[in-house]
Amino acid sequence: MNPRRSMFLRMLLRSALVRPGRALTALAALAVAATVATAMLNLYTDAGAKLEREFRNYGANLVVIGSEGGELPEDALPRAERALGGRGMAVPFSYAIARTSDGSPVVVAGTDMARVRALNRWWSVTAWPSASGDALMGARAAQLLAPGGQPFDLLFQGRTLRVKPVGTLRTGSAEDSRIYLSMADFQAWTEAGISTIEVRAAGAPAEVEAAAQQLSAALPQAQVRPVRQILEAEAQVLGKTRSTILAAVAVILVTAALCVLATLTASVFDRRKDLAVMKALGASERLTNGFFLAEAAALGTAGAVIGFGLGVGAAAWIGRVNFHAPISPRLDVFPAVLAGSILLAVLSALIPISLLRHVQPAAILKGD
């Protein structure tokens, strides 16, 4: 190996080994900053997706209905599901106005219980029906039609259906006045098709828009309508929350960076004697600068690697604590953290070097 280069490497190594305390302090500062940066960047990129999942619980953001109030084609549901391609959920609904035995009208709905349970998590249901002939009663309908929970008759176009209330449903809106049956029971009784498909398309507004277009293309005879109440409110709240997180993350990153800058600058400044000795022994300015900068770069790299590992752990912990789902580590954050870390370390070496450039080695060595 080139003797000059080996001397350079030895100096680097010895400077780290002879005074491990000093090197460790600098490394610790860098690693902590890199940890904070990694955790914050991971959190920022993932928090939006995590929050979006919470908003998904608000229910359908698209509604598919037949044009001019007509029914949807028989195979509408599988077609809608194909159009969504797994990026969402579709729940069919059919409605009919039936009469009770005393002649008062009531809305009866047929739906897929398992799907509606997954889509509308806010439905407060005492027991979900499972057998044929079981009915889920809206709270107000239950109170008026079957206060004791006894089976009763429903009439639709001369056909009678005997239903057994098994559970009550409470939502605080129109559902409370309805009776829900399984789609099979409902269609066998009324011979009606699907009147509405409620769709929860996953993703950002642009993706929901794309899903709506795909649904329109798959079901040309139907109307696909966005539920603006859900879409707009979600965009509003999510956007503002994101901005707040961004502001907080920026503030934290700047603080961490300034902290590292102060610590490292002081630690390089403290070594002005080493610099003076090197200069007194005849080292060129290029060599001394190269030495300190290489040292800074090495520290920056080590700090970034350690900090990235710790930061991913911290982000995962935050994900579990707050969202009950780990935040998946993002490797694309690493180059940014590495570059930032090296840049900071080099910058904090450059400041003292340029301050000391014009000072005579003798003056430093004398202790002034």
Instruction: Please list every residue from 23 through 82 that binds another protein, using CB under 8 A.
Output: 29, 32, 36, 39-40, 43, 47, 50-51, 54-55, 57-59, 63, 65, 69
Give yes or no for residue 236 binding another protein (CB under 8 A).
Answer: yes
| Nearest-angstrom CA–CA distance, 309 and 42 | 12
Among 4, 5, 228, 286, contact with another protein (rule: CB under 8 A) = 228
Chain positions 348 to 367 lying near another protein, rule: CB under 8 A, are: 367
Beta strands, E only, 67-150: 88-100, 105-111, 124-125, 134-138
103 makes contact with another protein (CB under 8 A):
no
Q: Is 18 in the site for another protein (CB under 8 A)?
A: no
Q: 87 or 170, CB closer to another protein?
A: 170
Q: Which lies closer to another protein via its Cβ, residue 168 or residue 267? A: 267
Query: Which string of DSSP letters, residue by residue, matches 50-91?
Result: HHHHHHHTT--SEEEEEGGG-PPPTTHHHHHHHHHTTSEEEE
CA contacts within 13 A on the Cβ side of 325: 10
Among 45, 171, 289, 328, binds another protein (CB under 8 A): 171
Which of 118, 248, 362, 363: binder of another protein (CB under 8 A)?
A: 248
> How many angstroms separate the CA atoms of 314 and 196, rounded?
45
Binding window for another protein (CB under 8 A); candidates: 137-145, 156-164, 207-215, 290-298: 137-145
314 and 46 in contact (C-beta within 8 Å)?
no
Among 53, 64, 54, CA closest to 90: 64
Q: Which is nearer to another protein, 106 or 199 (CB)?
A: 106
Is the distance from CB of 36 to CB of 253 less than 8 angstroms? Answer: yes
- Which residue number, 57 or 160, has a Cβ lying nearer to another protein? 57
* Number of residues near another protein (by CB under 8 A): 76
CB of 57 to another protein, least distance (A): 5
302 binds another protein (CB under 8 A): no
**From the list 86, 172, 220, 282, which residue makes contact with another protein (rule: CB under 8 A)?**
172
Count the neighbouring beta carbons within 10 Å of the beta carbon of residue 127.
11
Nearer to another protein, 24 or 251 (CB): 251
Contact 118, 199 (CB under 8 A): no
